[in-house]
Structure 1
Amino acid sequence: MVKFYRKSVPLSALWVSSNERLSDFYASSWQRGESPIPMLVIRILCAGMALAILSWSLAEAPTPYWLIYLTNWGLLLVASLFLCSLIMSSMAIYNRSYETKKLPWYASLYWAVFNVSVTISIMITALYWLLLYNAKVREVETRAFWLDVSTHGITSCLAVIELLLSRTPVRFMHLYQPLSLGLWYAVFSCIYYVAGGTDANGKHFIYEILDWSQSKRAGIIVVASMAGLIIVYAFIWAIALCRDKVSTLLVRTTSHDLPPAPPDRHTGIV
């Protein structure tokens, strides 16, 4: 379900603490009813792939420098997304009778991680293939190329699968959540540079395009990236809107959920 508010919004709605239906976080858009089983199966498969890619990346670069790269932050986010989603689906199996709009902690946690990880993973994919990928360097490194494809492509595809198949709400007012993480990484990279940090090759920047020794260019990149995040989040919001409209029209029709009318006691006609 997607909500877009044209009127004033209470401050409580800016957080991920309330929603009309808890089933929006464990049922699929493409199913009738509210069984948590279909999304649980999908999430188990996606979690396995996300954790496999995360493990591969860690095995290829087992150094403290692994933590300084935005790509690896994205890997951790996507892995966290599916771990949180598994908790959400598992809890739904044991406790589906939730009559209040206030969400349990595990639903709020999943929702916040969803908002951030889907947006950031798509943004990382776009930035890498548009600005950072060097075909000449990778053409002779087959193993490294497929790791790039996995970390900068497959992980974002997994996040998009969660977006398309789930009913997870996307509210435009939650834009501040992925923006906050994007700004935090920019601040972190600047602090890291000022503190004399280097990358794995001893260079005084994490990414050459974000070299704070050229502060004007780095600032422009940060501003452009924040604008890109807004565009990506708007795109995600639009996809979720279309997802809910189409699935409600074609699959989640309320008429199929209504009990049959009793027959007329005089004519016997239903």
Structure 2
Amino acid sequence: MDAIKLYFKQECKLLMLALEHPKPSDFYISVWQATRSPVPLLIWRALLFLTSIGIVITSVTFYAISSVSLGYWFIYLTHWGLTLMILSTGFGFAVSLRTYISGPLSVDYSLPWYVKTFWVLHNMSVPVAFLITLFYWTILYEAGVSEEMNLGLDVSIHGINSVVMFLLLSSSSHPSRLVHVLHPMLFALTYVAFSLIYYLAGGVDTAGNRYVYPVLYWGSAGKAFLVVVITGLLLIVLHFATIGLAAARDAIANRLIRPSVTVHVDERLALRRPTDNV
């Protein structure tokens, strides 16, 4: 109990809202590594990034070749989540690539902007992906809502997104902080604001209905507001679940991998000699 109290006391400090971390290598070296090379995580993140691009290209292509306007692709939360997935895996890949090319990140000042951007995107994309998957399979699937122009793609996308984000989370080392729940909540509130503005502007879905999702129909404002509140609470729970997964990742890796690794390493030490190939 004392450990739990200490955790919440530490995590709820205003200082934790800052995007700072004393160990920059956690952003480009996997928790599962026994070496300091950025190459393993660079390759892994490249695969996740390419997978994300492939998913989005496939989804957009089906819209482009259908009779439905491509503009409708941008109204769905799933596609916002896919865009977030591309940005998150893309910035993760960029952080690893920059480190491989230019060496370790500096610890003298604040974390670079692109590392902070990756951290925020990661904080958003993981719980949002889980939310989209749960939202689809528990509510939208039974309601017959189709966001894709292909049924198979519609079903698969609402699972692949969570798999990609789970793989990104499980291969990382940087922390997931309690107060960073503000990041996914900000994303969710932005979408809620969009859906309301879209409704007030007379927007419709691909079938001509005055909503994007039937459960978020602002013509019944009370019901829509209730759905927003419940979904927001679920997103908070999923953020906690993300923290739990990150903690489990670290605990397992520390038991299996990290005991063989030197604990106190100079963060500024070169990751490879200039003559090395990798």
Give the TM-score taking structure 2 as reference length. Answer: 0.84
* Rounded Cα–Cα distance in structure 1 between residues aligned with 2:10 and 2:263: 32
Question: Cα deviation per residue 1:153-198 (whole Å; 9 max; x = unaligned)?
Answer: 1121000001111112100110011011111111211111111111
Compute the displacement of 1:11 (Å).
Answer: 3.9
* Rounded Cα–Cα distance in structure 2 between residues aligned with 1:228 and 1:85: 26
Residue equivalent to 1:70? 77
Q: Is the 8 A contact 1:20 1:101 kept in 2?
A: no
Compute the displacement of 1:47 (Å).
Answer: 1.1
Compute the displacement of 1:20 (Å).
Answer: 1.2
Residue equivalent to 2:55? 53
CA pair 128-224 structure 1, distance change in 2 beyond 3 A: same
* Rounded Cα–Cα distance in structure 2 between residues aligned with 1:222 and 1:136: 20
Q: Is the 8 A contact 2:16 2:177 kept in 1?
A: no
Residue equivalent to 1:132? 140
Residue equivalent to 1:107? 115
- 1:122 maps to amino acid: F
Asked whether 1:152 is paired with 2:155, we answer: no
Compute the displacement of 1:200 (Å).
Answer: 1.7
* Rounded Cα–Cα distance in structure 1 between residues aligned with 2:238 and 2:145: 29
Asked whether 1:85 is paired with 2:92, we answer: yes
Question: Cα deviation per residue 1:17-71 (whole Å; 9 max; x = unaligned)?
Answer: x101111111111111321111111111111111011001101113111111100
1:6 to 1, 4, 9: 9
More off after superposition, 143-152 vs 215-224? 143-152
- 2:81 maps to amino acid: G
Question: Cα deviation per residue 1:184-236 (whole Å; 9 max; x = unaligned)?
Answer: 11121111111111112211100111111111111110000000001100000
The structure number with the bigger radius of gyration is 1
* Rounded Cα–Cα distance in structure 1 between residues aligned with 2:202 and 2:218: 11
1:44 to 43, 46, 49: 46
Residue equivalent to 2:238? 232
CA pair 41-4 structure 1, distance change in 2 beyond 3 A: farther
- 1:170 maps to amino acid: S
* Rounded Cα–Cα distance in structure 1 between residues aligned with 2:143 and 2:194: 28
CA pair 201-135 structure 1, distance change in 2 beyond 3 A: closer
Asked whether 1:123 is paired with 2:125, we answer: no
SS in 1 for 2:9: coil
CA pair 257-190 structure 1, distance change in 2 beyond 3 A: closer
Residue equivalent to 2:273? none
1:171 to 170, 177, 187: 177
* Rounded Cα–Cα distance in structure 1 between residues aligned with 2:195 and 2:143: 25
* Rounded Cα–Cα distance in structure 2 between residues aligned with 1:108 and 1:31: 22
CA pair 40-186 structure 1, distance change in 2 beyond 3 A: same
SS in 1 for 2:258: coil
Q: Is the 8 A contact 1:119 1:229 kept in 2?
A: yes
* Rounded Cα–Cα distance in structure 2 between residues aligned with 1:20 and 1:258: 12
Question: Cα deviation per residue 1:66-103 (whole Å; 9 max; x = unaligned)?
Answer: 11110000010001111101110011112215233621
Asked whether 1:189 is paired with 2:195, we answer: yes
* Rounded Cα–Cα distance in structure 1 between residues aligned with 2:72 and 2:89: 25
* Rounded Cα–Cα distance in structure 1 between residues aligned with 2:202 and 2:145: 27
* Rounded Cα–Cα distance in structure 1 between residues aligned with 2:38 and 2:52: 21
When the two chains are superposed, the root-mean-square deviation of aligned CA atoms in Å is 2.4
* Rounded Cα–Cα distance in structure 1 between residues aligned with 2:107 and 2:90: 25
Residue equivalent to 1:199? 205
Compute the displacement of 1:13 (Å).
Answer: 3.0
* Rounded Cα–Cα distance in structure 2 between residues aligned with 1:97 and 1:31: 18
* Rounded Cα–Cα distance in structure 1 between residues aligned with 2:214 and 2:264: 60
* Rounded Cα–Cα distance in structure 2 between residues aligned with 1:192 and 1:118: 26
Q: Is the 8 A contact 2:181 2:239 kept in 1?
A: yes
CA pair 21-200 structure 1, distance change in 2 beyond 3 A: same
